[in-house]
Structure formats: structure tokens, C-alpha cells
Amino acid sequence: MTGRVIDMSTSRSKDITPETRISDLLKNYPELEETLIEMAPAFGKLRNPILRKTIAKVANLRQAAQIGDVPLAKLINTLRTTAGVGEISETEIDEAVKMNDKPAWVDKTKLKETFDARSLIESGGHPLTKVMEDLDKLSDDESYRLITPFLPAPLLDVAKSRGYYIWTESDGEDMFSTYFARMPD
């Protein structure tokens, strides 16, 4: 990885934090694309215009660190240093991101269906409609598993707003399993 530092004589208002979306990072700091790819080679897929539209809009730097198996503090502070905005402490980063343990409902519910949406997403599609239709068919004691190449944040927001429990785990570089179940009325 190169040790270049970017001249930041023109101030930019956007900060670089664990929750910064990759699309926002690259919009505000386009020169950081290569640094991001060097640190998390899985994000070389950003060079593909179709995948760039999909991945960059929904993935944030916390997720990029998980996908690329890079310590979050190292990713954030390397990007911040390269952009010339200064490092933040690991404590600040840890406070910004709280990882959840597997909730009991994941094991207590019966897995009704698993949908692997990786090929759909990689071809530029989005699983939102199918997933919402499938979730509407769940009974109270059932759960649903969605497999994606990254955390599908907008889909999760929609499901949560419709009253579903959600929990996600990373199963490797290109695989996230998200579990859904109905919240009791």
C-alpha cells in the first residue's frame, strides 16, 4: 500500500467514520478509491460500474472492514490520514459501532426459507420486492435467511420499518447472512 497523502487545501465538510457510505466517501474523496481497494481487495469490484452502483450505495466503511477482513480502526484511520483529516481514537471508533450478539429468536424460530441473492445483486438487480413478499408469508414462529455479497442496508431499513426483527452475520468475504422474523404484535 502506498503512503501518499492528499493535499486538502480545499476543506470538505464530510467526515470519514464507520458509518460513512462508500458512495459518499468516493463522492467527497474520489482519490481514496485506490486506498480503499488496496486495503480491502474485495472492493476492487467497485471498478465494475454495475456493482459500483449497488455496493457503494448500500455498504458503509464498517461493512467494508468486515468484508475485507481489515481492522476497522486501521481502515478508518488510513483513509482519514490519506484524506488529510486526521486520525480518530480506537475508543471513538469502538463507541461508534456496537456489534450485537446472536439474538435468541434466531435459534428459537424455524428457518422457513433461504434466498441467495448474490447472483441477482451482482447482475445489477435488487432483491427487495422478492424478500418483502417472502417475509409477508412468515408465521410468528418462522424465520427467513437472505444471503448477499454485502449488507443490504436499505432493504434492512424497509424490513425493520415493517415490523421485522433483523440480525446479520458475516460468513466470509463475499457472504452475509441476514435473518428476519416477525416482531410480536
Torsional sign, CA 28, 92, 155, 65 = positive
Q: Is residue 154 part of a domain?
A: yes
pLDDT at residue 64, rounded to an integer: 81
Let me know if residue 109 belongs to a domain: yes
**What integer pLDDT is reported at residue 185 of this predicted model?**
65
pLDDT per position as a tens digit, 72-105:
889 999 999 999 988 887 766 765 554 446 788 8
Locate 10 and state its grid cell. 480545499
> One-letter amino acid identity for 84?
G
Q: Are residues 178 and 108 in the same domain?
A: yes
Q: Does 119 lie in the same domain as 165?
A: yes
The grid coordinates listed for 145 are: 435467511
68 shares a domain with 91: yes
Of 66, 96, 126, the one marking the end of a domain is 96
Give the pTM.
0.53
For residues 156 and 180, what is the distance between their CA atoms, to the nearest angstrom? Answer: 9
Residues 26, 79 share a domain: yes
Average pLDDT score over residue span 123-132: 94
Shared domain for 109 and 175, answered yes or no, is yes
Residue 166 and residue 126 share a domain: yes
Our count of domains for the chain comes to 2
Reported as a pLDDT band with limits 50, 70 and 90, residue 13 is very low
Distances (CA, A) of 158 to 126, 154, 161, 165: 13, 6, 5, 11
Query: Using one digit for the tens of pLDDT, what is the confidence trace for 24-71?
Result: 999 999 999 999 999 888 788 888 887 777 777 777 888 788 777 788
Examine the pLDDT at 106 and tell me if it is beyond 80: yes
Task: Say whether both 148 and 84 belong to one domain.
Answer: no
More confident residue, 8 or 35: 35
- Comparing CA positions, the residue from 119, 147, 142 lying closest to residue 131 is 147
Model confidence at 160, pLDDT cuts 50, 70, 90, reads confident
Residue 114 maps to a domain: yes
Domain that holds residue 50: 22-96
Residue 77: count of CB within 10 angstroms of its CB: 18
Higher pLDDT, 39 or 115: 115
Whether residue 114 sits in one domain with residue 75: no
Q: How confident is the model at residue 172 (pLDDT cuts 50, 70, 90)?
A: low
